[in-house]
Structure 1
Amino acid sequence: MAERPILLFDGDCGFCAKAVDTAVRLLDTDAVITPWQFADVDALGVTVERADREVLWIEPRTAVVHGGADAVAHLLRQCPRRSWRLTGRAMTLPPISWTARLVYRVVAMNRHRLPGGTVACSLPARLRPATRDSV
């Protein structure tokens, strides 16, 4: 099992892929960042449905999984730059955490409408022609 934390995202979603590319450039993370479509989700202790619904942060040593805004907060908290770590910490504290979760949900539900988003973003994984379930 991996020692580094893992960030899973929807590789079929152009908006998600663009957001992750930007995060990799800005954050200098040592996490393993990969589309869930290329990961062994069963071995990581998550379902395809959950991975398709939200970005996931997985702590391999403890098998703890954080999703959505909490996953983003954990990603930020492990960055080398103090400002990103503080932002991630703030995202876990109410009322900021409530706002972060609401914003994450709105973005996730509308990702197919955002720049880079495609119709595939609005379909569940089981209905997409090129997902891991159909291969």
Structure 2
Amino acid sequence: MLVYDGDCGFCTSSVRFIERYVPARAEIVAFQYADLGELGTTAERAEHEVLWIDRAGRVSGGAEAVGRLLTAAGGPWRALGVVMRVAPASWAAQAAYRLIARNRHRLPGGTAACALPPAGRPGGHG
């Protein structure tokens, strides 16, 4: 399962790209609609990074989560996902993920609401 921030326009645009182009065999859900306690995580974590929860209930976040999603998709995506999770590429992937996460409100599909704390976003989740 991939868990993302459904209040963030950039995150939602990214998920739509995944749904269209990445043959992910996974449920994709906004954290605002997920039972995070049952999934073994918290809203605080889900507000700050995309999460991947595998069938065994292990939770990965950030670039690791994206790498695991791509690995699970198979085909050429699998190779990219594996590379993203092995050092030193994993270090670069995590640095890129953090840079993107901090600036998601400035990226295509992002809105000013993406930069606000969750309680201050339109819709008031948090």
Distance in 2, Cα, partners of 1:43 & 1:126: 22
Shift of 1:45: 1.3
- Could you tell me which runs of 5 or more consecutive residues in structure 1 were left unpaired when the two chains were aligned: 1-5
- 2:123 alignment partner in structure 1: 130
Tell me by how many angstroms 1:129 deviates: 4.3
- Residue identity in the other structure for 2:57: A
Q: Deviations over 1:26-58 (max 9, x none)?
A: 111110001111111111111111101000000
Deviation per CA, 1:6-43, whole angstroms, max 9, x where unpaired?
10011111111111110111111110001111111111
Corresponding residue of 1:107: 100
Distance in 1 between the 2:9 and 2:123 partners?
14
1:132 deviation in Å?
4.0
How far 1:124 sits from its partner (Å)? 1.9
Gap change, CA 1:45 and 1:102, over 3 Å in 2: same
Preserved CA contact (<8 Å) 1:9 1:16: yes
Is 2:25 the partner of 1:30? Answer: yes
- 1:73 and 2:60 correspond: no
Residue pairs, 1:53-64, within 5 angstroms: 53-59=48-54, 61-64=55-58
4+ residue runs of structure 1 moved beyond 6 angstroms?
A: none
* 2:43 alignment partner, one of 45, 48, 54: 48
Indicate how the Cα distance of structure 1 residues 116 and 77 shifts in structure 2: closer, same or farther if over 3 A, else same: same
Q: Give the TM-score normalised by the residue count of structure 1.
A: 0.88
Percent identity between matched residues is: 48
Asked if the contact 2:6–2:12 (Cα under 8 Å) also holds between the matched residues in 1, the reply is: yes
Aligned length: 126
Aligned partners of 2:114 and 2:121 also within 8 Å: no
Q: Of the candidates 34, 39, 42, which is equivalent to residue 34 of structure 2? A: 39
Quick check: 1:10–1:35 contact (8 Å CA) kept in 2? yes
C-alpha contact (below 8 Å) 1:112/1:121 kept by paired residues? yes
Structure 2 gaps, min length 5? none
Return the offset for 1:80. 3.1
